Amino acid sequence: MLESDFTLQELAVIRRAYAKQILTLAGVPEDPRLEEAFAVVERERFLGDPPWAISRGGGYEPVHSHDPAVLYQDVLLALASHRGVNNGSPSLHAGWLHALSLREGERVAHIGAGTGYYTAIIAEIVGEKGHVLAVELDPALSGTARAKLGDRSNVTVLAGDGAAWPREDVDAVYVNFSVERPAEAWIDRLKPEGRVIFPLGVPWPKPSPSGGTHAMHGAGLRITRRGKGLAVQWLGRAFFVCAEGELSSPGPERQALQASFERGGIEFVRSLIWRQAALPGRCWFTGSGWALSYDEAKA
């Protein structure tokens, strides 16, 4: 156990204050289950032993304190700095998890789970009657996640390529790396009223000097299966580390996607056209078998 200048009871108060502050920073209105999850999950459990490092301005700065109390602020902390993989911004995740609208008892796929901090928060929200499938490509990170989440009966951790999961129908998919297109499984395995949140992005031509390749242009999107259509909500700009594995290969549509980002207007997208022809002139971007359209989703 890490040593702290604070008692366990005081650390619990620090976490509770952190949870309230993070949701406020994210602009989240009343969301008791989400706030409680941020208040009870111990962030230090998923960050390894100190010294820790904060991701800031394209590089990393050491955290000089070894007291876990310092971790309860809105900062990115390194998980695998040589690859640019971090435990991401709590306020961003609070906003996105609120937008995911998780309910008790739901089944969720967390893709790109890292060491499992946000997996644990999702598991708290869906409760013992729900289930979270956490998928992480990196064997070391997935091994840590399996160890740290082993006491949660409602979590399964898999080491594998997130593009291939889930393989059963789920209520929600939560993706934590940037992609140039959604994986088929993320859309095809959504139940009616199921939601997926993922960062769409175009990578920088070269990796960052501090490690990893990050999105040069990027946005968070929420997709909801409604009737015969797929509704889209823009969640704001987002610059995640880019996918590895199957989704990391440069696609033939990268230049067209980059041009769409540079032209602007993604905030006006209202639907995902999936495996069917899109109407000419009505789309922000059109790819092979998918498009992001300005038109409302079909009921």
131 within a domain of the structure (yes/no): yes
CATH at residue 267? 3.40.50.150
1 within a domain of the structure (yes/no): no
pLDDT of residue 2: 82
Domain count, the chain: 1
What's the chain's average pLDDT?
Answer: 95
Q: Which residue has the tokens 């199957």?
A: 246
Write out pLDDT tens, residues 207-261.
887 778 999 999 999 999 999 999 999 999 999 999 998 888 777 899 999 999 9
How would you classify the pairing of strands 131-136 and 155-159?
parallel
Q: How far apart are the first and last CA of the chain?
A: 53
Q: Which of 63, 80, 85, 62 is nearest to 72 (CA)?
A: 63
- Average confidence (pLDDT) over 11-23: 98
pLDDT of residue 195: 98
**Amino acid found at 88:** G
Residue 109: phi, psi to the nearest 5?
-105, 120
- Average confidence (pLDDT) over 270-276: 96
299 within a domain of the structure (yes/no): no
Q: Which residue has the tokens 């082993």?
A: 150
Write out pLDDT tens, residues 65-79.
999 999 999 999 999
CB atoms within 10 A of CB 61: 12
Whether the per-residue pLDDT at 1 is higher than 70: the answer is no
Angstrom distances, CA of residue 37 to CA of 32, 43, 278: 9, 11, 40
CB-based burial label for 25 (10 Å; 0-12, 13-18, 19+): middle
Write out pLDDT tens, residues 231-243.
999 999 999 999 9
151 sits in which H/E element: none
215 within a domain of the structure (yes/no): yes
**Which range marks the domain in which residue 65 is found?**
8-293
- Average confidence (pLDDT) over 88-109: 98
Q: Which of 149, 127, 146, 129 is nearest to 138 (CA)?
A: 146
42 within a domain of the structure (yes/no): yes
Asked if omega into 205 is within 30° of 0 (cis), the reply is no
CB atoms within 10 A of CB 279: 12
Whether the per-residue pLDDT at 34 is higher than 70: the answer is yes
